[in-house]
Amino acid sequence: MHAPPSRKSFDRTGADHIAPDCAGQNFYVIDRGLRDLLRLYLAPDDLARLEPHFDRLGALAGGRLDELARIADKHPPVLNARDAFGRDEDWIDYHSSYRDMEKIAFGDFQFHAMSHRAGTLGMDRPLPAVAKYALQYLFVQAEFGLMCPISVTDTSIHLIRKFASAELKDYLLPKMLSNDPANQWKGTQFMTERAGGSDVGAIETLARCEDGEWRLYGDKWFCSHADADVALLLARPEGAPAGTRGLALFALPRRLKDGRRNSYRIVRLKDKLGTRSMASGEIRLEGAVAYLVGDAKAGLKQMMEQVNLSRLSHGVRAAAMMRRCVNEALVCARTRSAFGKTIIDYPLLRRQLLKITVPTEAALSMFLFAANAMDRANAGSKDAENLLRILTPLLKFRACRDNIPVATGAMEVRGGNGYIEEWVNARLVRDAHIGVLWEGTSNINALDIIQRAVGKSAAHRMLGTALKHKLDEAAALPKGFRDCLTLALERALAFAEQVAAEPDAEATARLAASGLYHITSAILLAWEGSQPGVDARRALLARFVLEHRLTARDPLAPANDDWERDSIDIVLGEEPASPARVATLLDS
């Protein structure tokens, strides 16, 4: 059987009517926004040391990794329930393309360990969060499914390091931090049960102490990375109270210390809409041995640390998939002809391109701002911790929602070919939808923002302070524009506070959360665009957010759109605009 030609080397002779895709591009080199913002957020020494790795991963994401991802998506994992001797040695077969992607992720880049120990990518200390999430962003532009096992291994290590006993750490961490595939233990998180996904307090899995060790009984309904070597999960110790208060956190090893398979079964794998390269399954716990992690009465509180880290990563993944969508749409729009013109020359199509570009750049700004807050929180800043508290669900909620129309919009730019599985657009549309489900649906994240981050922690005040500071630093932008942003900020904060204070207003939680996301991204884009060396066009994107997401418009009486038409031309152009030209457009 002959393999299809690599797209990179694909001879396009005879394919002249079909718009190409991004194959062969370096996703780091072509991403001006990412490169500019990394200069704002990373120390120059760190950037100098890490840039070759960003560049290398950018090339892989547009090349080899992309080809592997395409194949892995077509060859989903297969569960084997028993071996030839009838033993319940369940295992999952993965296509070699998936295994090759694992080598890049866990062996070459060591994503799982980069936040936890020195020595990855030539660094003499763990990587800053900004760098880790920038690498995740590049990786996911090619492969989305595998980012789940990568991220959940990283976040499981975080929980074990923070909460496990010294003995449990000694047992698990050397394996989990290893980059040797023969000895490495990868992690996962099994929380959801049939009785409860959002309603975690409904969890029914029972933990019983038998002969001095914990054994688990029950069913887990959604288990991504189903064959991980160690899973973190919530279970209710016998006699513990109902609801979330009675849940404890456990580490469940796949194999026991003597090498035997632990007493749980992967009952079946899910036939999923997206993330098809990665195995999600159902687990039946039949007295499986598990280790208690941390305080038995603080299971959910501890687990929420993993949930929040995952939520941030989900926001990054949505940003990455949107970037891939925009890259694909631009390549297509600049090459496809219709009615005698290249399609990018049509006003309606230009508007469509802008509509997918704005949320994409906004998500980039948001995740790097959140990652920077994480770096400052890790260095001991309580203010940054408070800021991260609200930025995490904001990013997860809004970026994951935006991913869906952006993926659909990019597919439409490719026309009918976008619907065909030979092109990446179809996979991007399928993969985009999971972001609004796992680690909390949109409603659950919006409620977390309004009821807890705003209502209980008052984290929106820290957000307001941080954004006012950014506006002060954007003094190079026209005053009238900055005043409009200040006013919108005050209104968004007041609206969120009002919704948090009135139980009857719960139905508007998503609206209020969206308002906070949009004003945050608008001010970040404006601030970034005002900084020396950064593409000034980012400030134009801020105006689009302000006008289209934070200002009432009459759909039957379009405003004078001269600034819009000129701004779209500049944003979609291949060259940056001068700060003076941008300032004129912001002022008009």
The distance of closest approach from Cβ of residue 215 to ligand FAD in the complex, given in angstroms and rounded to an integer, is 20
The distance of closest approach from Cβ of residue 224 to ligand FAD in the complex, given in angstroms and rounded to an integer, is 3
The distance of closest approach from Cβ of residue 2 to ligand FAD in the complex, given in angstroms and rounded to an integer, is 34
Of 253 and 418, CB closest to ligand FAD: 253
Query: Half-sphere exposure (CA, 13 Å, Cβ side) for 178?
Result: 15
The distance of closest approach from Cβ of residue 235 to ligand FAD in the complex, given in angstroms and rounded to an integer, is 12
204 sits near ligand FAD (criterion: CB under 6 A) = no
**Among the residue ranges 221-229, 400-408, 534-542, 564-572, the one whose residues contact ligand FAD (CB under 6 A):** 221-229
386 sits near ligand FAD (criterion: CB under 6 A) = no
The distance of closest approach from Cβ of residue 255 to ligand FAD in the complex, given in angstroms and rounded to an integer, is 20
From CA 213, how far away is CA 151, in angstroms rounded?
29
403 sits near ligand FAD (criterion: CB under 6 A) = no
From CA 192, how far away is CA 235, in angstroms rounded?
11
The distance of closest approach from Cβ of residue 387 to ligand FAD in the complex, given in angstroms and rounded to an integer, is 25
197 sits near ligand FAD (criterion: CB under 6 A) = yes
Query: Half-sphere exposure (CA, 13 Å, Cβ side) for 271?
Result: 0
The distance of closest approach from Cβ of residue 152 to ligand FAD in the complex, given in angstroms and rounded to an integer, is 7
CA end-to-end distance (rounded Å), the chain: 62
223 sits near ligand FAD (criterion: CB under 6 A) = yes
Of 373 and 434, CB closest to ligand FAD: 434
Nearest to 528 by CA among 40, 130, 129, 183: 40
Q: Identify the DSSP state of 181.
A: T
269 sits near ligand FAD (criterion: CB under 6 A) = no
272 sits near ligand FAD (criterion: CB under 6 A) = yes
Which of 134, 146, 432, 434: binder of ligand FAD (CB under 6 A)? 434
Q: Alpha-carbon torsion 309, 315, 319, 320, what sign?
A: positive
Beta bridge partners of 283: 220, 266
The distance of closest approach from Cβ of residue 280 to ligand FAD in the complex, given in angstroms and rounded to an integer, is 4
Nearest to 233 by CA among 243, 222, 241: 222
Percentage helix, strand, coil, to 5, in the chain?
A: 60, 10, 30
508 sits near ligand FAD (criterion: CB under 6 A) = no
The distance of closest approach from Cβ of residue 234 to ligand FAD in the complex, given in angstroms and rounded to an integer, is 9
- Please spell the DSSP secondary structure of 63-108, one letter per residue: THHHHHHHHHHHS--EEE-S-TTS----EEE--HHHHHHHIIIIII
Q: How far is CA 124 from CA 116, 121, 128, 178, in A?
A: 12, 9, 12, 17
Residues in the interface with ligand FAD (CB under 6 A) total 21
438 sits near ligand FAD (criterion: CB under 6 A) = yes
Beta bridge partners of 290: 214
Of 120 and 192, CB closest to ligand FAD: 192
Of 37 and 233, CB closest to ligand FAD: 233
Q: Which residue's CB comes closest to ligand FAD?
A: 197
244 sits near ligand FAD (criterion: CB under 6 A) = no
457 sits near ligand FAD (criterion: CB under 6 A) = no
224 sits near ligand FAD (criterion: CB under 6 A) = yes
Q: Alpha-carbon torsion 541, 546, 550, 552, what sign?
A: negative
Alpha-carbon dihedral 145, 150, 151, 155, rounded to 10 degrees: 150
**Among the residue ranges 1-9, 176-184, 185-193, 459-467, the one whose residues contact ligand FAD (CB under 6 A):** 185-193
198 sits near ligand FAD (criterion: CB under 6 A) = yes
Of 307 and 320, CB closest to ligand FAD: 307
The distance of closest approach from Cβ of residue 441 to ligand FAD in the complex, given in angstroms and rounded to an integer, is 3
Is residue 248 within 8 A of residue 267, CB to CB? The reply is no
Chain position carrying tokens 């009615």: 339
**Among the residue ranges 177-185, 290-298, 388-396, 432-440, the one whose residues contact ligand FAD (CB under 6 A):** 432-440
Which of 27, 111, 144, 222: binder of ligand FAD (CB under 6 A)? 222
Which of 94, 190, 481, 544: binder of ligand FAD (CB under 6 A)? 190
From CA 259, how far away is CA 254, in angstroms rounded?
9
Q: How far is CA 320 from CA 140, 143, 324, 402, 403, in A?
A: 6, 10, 6, 12, 9
151 sits near ligand FAD (criterion: CB under 6 A) = no
Of 443 and 508, CB closest to ligand FAD: 443
The distance of closest approach from Cβ of residue 218 to ligand FAD in the complex, given in angstroms and rounded to an integer, is 13
Q: How many residues does the chain have?
A: 588
Per DSSP, which regions of 113-257 are E strands?
187-190, 206-210, 213-224, 230-237, 248-253
The distance of closest approach from Cβ of residue 466 to ligand FAD in the complex, given in angstroms and rounded to an integer, is 29
- Quick count: other Cβ atoms within 10 Å of Cβ 391? 30
**Among the residue ranges 85-93, 194-202, 380-388, 513-521, the one whose residues contact ligand FAD (CB under 6 A):** 194-202
Kindly give the residue spans of alpha helices, DSSP state H, lying in 224-346: 299-335
Of 115 and 151, CB closest to ligand FAD: 151
From CA 373, how far away is CA 384, in angstroms rounded?
5
Which of 151, 156, 189, 567: binder of ligand FAD (CB under 6 A)? 189
From CA 179, how far away is CA 18, in angstroms rounded?
42
Which of 26, 280, 365, 403: binder of ligand FAD (CB under 6 A)? 280
Binding residues (CB under 6 A) for ligand FAD: these are 189-192, 197-199, 222-224, 272, 275, 280, 434, 437-441, 443-444
